[in-house]
């Protein structure tokens, strides 16, 4: 009897966990999750996916490492839609956290109108900023600190009245913990969207990415350790956009008007997605040959799913694989009518997540003034952080604690004796500076107090080694 081989597929099922810094992993449109990695350009190597961009002059600055390659899906949004970006320390596990508390700095959201959200590489002119936030003096917090409080979520409203069509949406974080040493760490990614809008507004001026920021500028060399800090913080990049009608727009390339979305749509016979892969329902069959043909076609799709799975993981591939195994079993049992559960939606229920209230898209007046305590948006209240709960839960047996090997703490994992530092912060990370050892430090999972030490943690040193190798430098020269 003919059988389908499952070994090649099963060999691809290794988990794609990564641990380092942070990555834009999921887009929400008006509160609805679009799916892990769906419509989002991501690095292809899960082992380095959360590393910061290696050079401010590289094409990676536009949409991240490997971001010049478009993905198959384009998400639909409306004028004024709320866009929420989920930022994760581990792309395939949002429960672990968003970004290390030491990575303090500003956030921004950029747009670029393009002829094709899939084919445009993202680099070059056409980018404009719709929102940013640096250091909120009234709250005493950086934007990245608010991001941690909001469980890795950042929400903004799309501007009303923008010209419809395809856009790239680019959330950006800048970690300044090594900026005074010449190492500003940018994190950026792009979502591919179609904007349903009858508006005619576009920005008066746009900038080129890379090229919009340089090393050594006040924003990229800012010292967050000065007491007091030299506030207000000078935001990196251009001022927030000033809208214009097409009649007086200087950039003629942006006058292209698309009427209807034609690319990046989910196929009508798609029954499950994984990132930007679509599982297409198999043809109906009623005999032995048809059954085994369907089994073979199913396993071929499964292999493609695993091969193209983004750093956010392959959960959908595993569900699809179960469908293939079911067909295989039915064929072996002589049940030749199928496929089973024809056209059944195999996607998991849409997850419900508490998202922060959106900040309105800002509108410039042609001049640029850094945000101050009076102009910065109020801090968002958000209390349902899984990480805070993890870090504050006392162990049932103190003798059962294990030493952290991933840089996180809580739920039976202690920082004491780890290579990341002995203190467990309120957000569930190990370290040895004041941010970890003083206010909010959790003594149940590490030690607290002690003198301030500005020290690189081992995950930072690993990143800097990888960064030196990527740009062709000498890792031994990294400070």
Domains (ranges, CATH) in the chain?
A: 23-255 (2.70.50.70), 270-332 (no CATH), 386-459 (no CATH)
339 neighbors 281 (Cβ within 8 angstroms): yes
Q: Which residue has the tokens 């993202």?
A: 122
The first and second tokens of residue 300, run together, are 């071929």
Q: What is the pLDDT along the chain (479 residues), one digit of tens a residue?
A: 344 444 444 433 333 433 459 999 999 999 999 999 999 999 999 999 999 999 999 999 999 999 999 999 999 999 999 999 999 999 999 998 999 999 999 999 999 999 999 999 999 999 999 999 999 999 999 999 999 999 999 999 999 999 999 999 999 999 999 999 999 999 999 999 999 999 999 999 999 999 999 999 999 999 999 999 999 999 999 999 988 755 554 454 445 566 899 999 999 999 999 999 999 999 999 999 999 999 999 999 999 999 999 999 999 999 999 999 999 999 999 999 999 999 999 999 988 889 999 987 777 654 433 333 233 333 332 222 333 333 333 443 445 788 887 677 877 888 888 887 888 887 677 888 777 787 778 888 888 886 544 444 444 444 444 444 444 444 433 33
Name the nearest CA neighbour of 420 among 382, 455, 376: 455
Distance CA 9, CA 20 (A): 28
Distance CA 216, CA 101 (A): 24
Name the nearest CA neighbour of 102 among 380, 429, 321: 429
What pTM does this model have?
A: 0.78
185 neighbors 178 (Cβ within 8 angstroms): yes
* Residue 300 backbone zone (phi > 0: left; psi -120 to 50: alpha; other: beta): alpha
Cα distances (Å, whole numbers) of residue 198 to 43, 73, 81, 169, 244: 34, 23, 14, 19, 14
Side-chain half-sphere of 319: how many Cα atoms within 13 Å? 16
Q: Is 419 exposed, middle or buried (0-12, 13-18, 19+ CB in 10 A)?
A: middle
Q: How many CB atoms lie within 10 A of CB 398?
A: 11
Task: Quickly list DSSP for 391-460.
Answer: HHPPPS-GGG-EE-SSSB-BTTEE-TT-TT-SEE-TTSBEESSHHHHSTT--GGGS-----------HHH
Q: Is 474 exposed, middle or buried (0-12, 13-18, 19+ CB in 10 A)?
A: exposed
Q: What is the CA radius of gyration of the chain?
A: 24
> In this predicted model, what pLDDT tens digit does every residue of 297-319 receive, in sequence order?
999 999 999 999 999 999 999 99
Distance CA 71, CA 363 (A): 30
235 neighbors 106 (Cβ within 8 angstroms): yes
């Amino acid at each position: 009897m003919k059988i389908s081989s499952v070994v090649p597929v099963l060999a691809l099922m290794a988990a794609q966990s990564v641990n380092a810094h942070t990555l834009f992993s999921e887009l929400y449109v008006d509160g609805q999750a679009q799916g892990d990695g769906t419509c989002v350009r991501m690095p292809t190597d899960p082992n380095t996916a959360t590393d910061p961009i290696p050079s401010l002059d590289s094409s990676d600055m536009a949409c991240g490492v490997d971001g010049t390659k478009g993905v198959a899906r384009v998400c639909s949004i409306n004028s004024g839609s709320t866009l929420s970006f989920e930022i994760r320390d581990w792309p395939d596990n949002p429960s672990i956290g968003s970004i290390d508390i030491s990575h303090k700095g500003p956030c921004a959201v950029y747009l670029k109108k393009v002829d094709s959200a899939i084919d445009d590489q993202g680099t070059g002119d056409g980018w404009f900023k719709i929102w940013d936030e640096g250091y909120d003096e009234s709250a005493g917090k950086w934007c990245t600190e608010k991001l941690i409080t909001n469980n890795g979520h950042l929400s903004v409203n799309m501007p009303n009245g923008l010209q419809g069509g395809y856009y790239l949406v680019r959330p950006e974080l800048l970690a300044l913990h090594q900026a005074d040493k010449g190492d500003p760490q940018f994190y950026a990614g792009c979502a591919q969207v179609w904007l349903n809008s009858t508006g005619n507004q576009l920005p008066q001026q746009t900038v080129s990415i890379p090229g919009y920021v340089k090393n050594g500028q006040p924003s990229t060399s800012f010292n967050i350790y000065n007491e007091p800090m030299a506030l207000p913080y000078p935001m990196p990049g251009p001022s927030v956009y000033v809208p214009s009608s097409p009649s007086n727009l200087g950039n003629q390339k942006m006058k292209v008007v698309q009427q209807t979305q034609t690319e990046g749509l989910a196929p009508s016979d798609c029954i499950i997605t994984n990132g930007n892969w679509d599982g297409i329902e198999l043809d109906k069959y009623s005999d032995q040959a048809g059954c085994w043909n369907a089994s073979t076609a199913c396993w071929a799709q499964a292999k493609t799913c695993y091969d193209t799975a983004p750093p956010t993981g392959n959960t959908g591939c595993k569900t699809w694989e179960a469908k293939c195994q079911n067909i295989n079993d039915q064929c072996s049992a002589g049940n030749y009518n199928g496929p089973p559960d024809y056209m059944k939606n195999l996607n998991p229920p849409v997850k419900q997540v508490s998202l922060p209230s959106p900040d309105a898209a800002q509108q410039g007046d042609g001049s640029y003034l850094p945000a101050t305590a009076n102009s910065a948006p109020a801090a968002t209240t958000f209390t349902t952080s899984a990480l805070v709960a993890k870090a504050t839960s006392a162990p049932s047996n103190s003798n059962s604690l294990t030493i952290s090997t991933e840089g996180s703490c809580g739920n039976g994992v202690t920082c004491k004796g780890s290579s990341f530092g002995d203190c467990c912060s309120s957000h569930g990370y190990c370290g040895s500076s004041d941010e970890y050892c003083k206010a909010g430090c959790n003594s149940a999972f590490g030690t607290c107090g002690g003198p301030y030490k500005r020290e690189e943690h081992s995950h930072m040193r690993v990143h800097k080694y990888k960064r030196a190798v990527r740009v062709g430098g000498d890792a031994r020269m990294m400070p």
